[in-house]
Amino acid sequence: MKKKVLSLMLATAMVASMTAGCGGNNGGTTDAGTTDAGTTDAGTTDAGTETGSDAGESTGGSNKLTVYAWDANFNIPALQAAADDYKANVDPDFELEIIEQSQSSDIEDAITLAGSAGDYSNLPDIVLFQDHWIQRYVADYPDAFVDVDDAEVDWSDFSQEKLSYSTINGKHYGFPVDNGTVIFAYRVDLLEQAGYTIDDMTGISWADFIEVGEKVYNTTGKYLLSMDGDGNDLIYMMLQAEGESQFKDGKPYITENEKLVEIMGVINEMISRNVLYLANDWSDYVDQTILGDMVAGVMNGNWIIPSIQQVTENSGKWEITSMPTLEGGEGYASNGGSSLYITSNCQNVDLAKKFLSYTFGGSSVTYDGALKNGGVITTCISAGESDVYNEGVEYFNNTPIYAQIVEMGSHVPVVEQSDYHYTCRTQIAAAVINIKDGMDVMEALQAAEDQLNFEMGN
C-alpha cells in the first residue's frame, strides 16, 4: 500500500472530492474487500441511506449521520442493514447517509488531508477504516478521531484479535464490522480421489500437509494451495497461527524469529514439491488458480469465499476447516478487515455511539442482514449464534460455515501489529521469491530485515 505523501495535486483533488460529493463505484473485489474504480449508485433505502452528498452539509438533522465507506457489494450493504435495523427498532426518524468512496485509500487520503491542514470540518461523522492502518492514523492525527471507551458495548463478546487493532493506548476507538478470520477451504471431491477427507486435514502439521498435497497433485494435477506472490499474506497467516508476529517491541523480528525461519523453509518445500502455486500477482491468484480451477485448496481471509463461489459447477464440493500448524493442531489467523470510527467532526457524537453500539455492537438483526445482503461475517460471538449463521450453505456441502467462521475467529491469537505491516509484507514476499530462485534463506531474510529497518527509519 502506498505511503501517504501530501502534495498540492492531492490536496486539490481531495478538496474537489469532498466538496463535490463522492462518485461511487463498483469494481472487482480485491484483497480484504477493497474495490477498484468503477461507477455505481447505492441509491436510497428505507433507512434514508444515499450517496453523493457533501459531508459538510449532511448533519443538519438531529437524527442524521454521515459515513464514508467503500465497496457497494460488501461494506455498504452492511451499513444499510444497520441503518434499517436502527430505524425499525430504535428511532423511526433516523437517517444514515452513506457517502461511497471508490476504495479504502480515499478515506485514508481524506484523513491525511484534513490532519495535515488541521481542519477536520469536511469529514463525515463516521468513517470505515482498514484495521491494519488505524493505529498509525490515530498516532499521526490524534485529533481526527473520538474514542468510544464509554460506549455501551460488551467488548468481551468480540474476537479479541479483532479488537486489538482498534484498542489504542487502552481505549476503544472502533466498532468491528467484518471478520477477517482465515479459512482453509478444500475441494472434498479431489481430496477423496487422493484418499483423504476434510477430517484428515483438520489439526494436521504442515509436514503432513505437504505429504497430502504432493499426493493430491500427483493424483489430480491440482495444487493444494496457492498464494499471490506479489502481495503474499501466507507468511503472516502461518506465523500468526503459531502465536508469533513479524515485529517485536516495535521493531522487525525476522532473522531471529525461529518460527518465521522455519515457515520460510516450509513454503519453499511446498513450492518445490508442487503443493503450493505461487501466482505472479492478484489477478493470476484469483483468475488462474481459483476461477481457473487449478487448486484443490484455498487458504485466506474468509472474504475470499465469493471468489470461490463464482465457479458454480463446483457447488457442494467444498468444505472449510482451520489451518495446519508447524507442530500439528488447529491453527487460527486473521487477514484483512475494517472497523467504523467516529471522527472529531461528528455533529452528534452521542447519536453516533448509540447507533454503532446498538447495531455493530451486537445486534443479530444488523449482522444477519449484513451477511445476507453483503456477505459480511461478524466477529461478534453471540451474533454468530443466530439461525441465519447456523444455516447450511449449499456451496459448502450444506455445512454452516458462517457459524464455524465466527467460532474459529474467537481463537485467533493476538500478536503484535505494526503500522509497517504492508511494508513488511512486501519485503518478506520478495524474500520468498529470492529463496525460490536459490538464495540462502538467512541471506534473503537478512536483506528483507535490512530494507524494512531502512523504511522504518531504524
What tens digit of pLDDT does each residue of 390-423 get?
A: 999 999 999 999 999 999 999 999 999 998 999 9
Are residue 160 and residue 18 in the same domain, yes or no? yes
pLDDT at 19: 34
Are residue 164 and residue 247 in the same domain, yes or no? no
Residue written as cell 501466507? 234
Could you tell me the three cell numbers for 178?
467484518
Are residue 61 and residue 17 in the same domain, yes or no? yes
Could you tell me the three cell numbers for 100?
461511497
pLDDT at 37: 32
Are residue 102 and residue 249 in the same domain, yes or no? no
What tens digit of pLDDT does each residue of 9-25 get?
A: 333 333 333 333 332 33
**In the structure, what pLDDT confidence band is assigned to residue 61 with cuts at 50, 70 and 90?**
low
Are residue 189 and residue 307 in the same domain, yes or no? yes
Are residue 215 and residue 122 in the same domain, yes or no? no
- The percent of residues above 70 in pLDDT, for the chain, comes to 87
Would 407 be classed as within a structural domain? no
Would 2 be classed as within a structural domain? no
Of 388, 406, 431, the residue that ends a domain is: 388
Are residue 120 and residue 157 in the same domain, yes or no? yes
Would 396 be classed as within a structural domain? no
More confident residue, 24 or 144: 144
Would 393 be classed as within a structural domain? no
Are residue 151 and residue 207 in the same domain, yes or no? no
Q: Considering only CA atoms, which of 221, 234, 226 is closest in space to residue 194?
A: 221
pLDDT at 53: 40
24 lies in which domain range? Answer: 8-180+336-388
User: How many structural domains does the chain have?
Assistant: 2
Q: Cβ(428)–Cβ(246) under 8 Å?
A: yes
Are residue 208 and residue 321 in the same domain, yes or no? yes
What tens digit of pLDDT does each residue of 371-381 get?
A: 999 999 999 99
Hey, is 390 helix, strand or coil? coil
**What is the overall mean pLDDT for the chain?**
88
pLDDT at 48: 37
Would 289 be classed as within a structural domain? yes
Distance CA 317, CA 393 (A): 11
The DSSP element (H or E) to which 298 belongs, if any, is strand 297-301
Are residue 277 and residue 267 in the same domain, yes or no? yes
pLDDT at 222: 98
Would 395 be classed as within a structural domain? no
| Long-range Cβ contact pairs of 107-112 (< 8 A, separation 24 or more) | 107/68, 107/70, 108/4, 108/133, 108/137, 109/4, 109/10, 109/14, 110/14, 110/17, 110/18, 110/68, 111/137, 111/141, 111/144, 112/4, 112/6, 112/141
Would 384 be classed as within a structural domain? yes
In this structure, what CATH number is given to the domain that contains residue 260? 3.40.190.10
Sorted by sequence, the CB contacts under 8 Å of residue 413 that are 6+ apart come out as 161, 240, 241, 243, 332
Q: Does 34 score more than 70 pLDDT?
A: no
Would 161 be classed as within a structural domain? yes
Q: Cβ(362)–Cβ(156) under 8 Å?
A: no
What tens digit of pLDDT does each residue of 429-456 get?
A: 999 999 999 999 999 999 999 999 999 9
pLDDT at 231: 86
Q: Cβ(309)–Cβ(395) under 8 Å?
A: yes
Distance CA 370, CA 177 (A): 9
**In the structure, what pLDDT confidence band is assigned to residue 62 with cuts at 50, 70 and 90?**
confident
Are residue 27 and residue 77 in the same domain, yes or no? yes
pLDDT at 219: 98
Are residue 342 and residue 277 in the same domain, yes or no? no
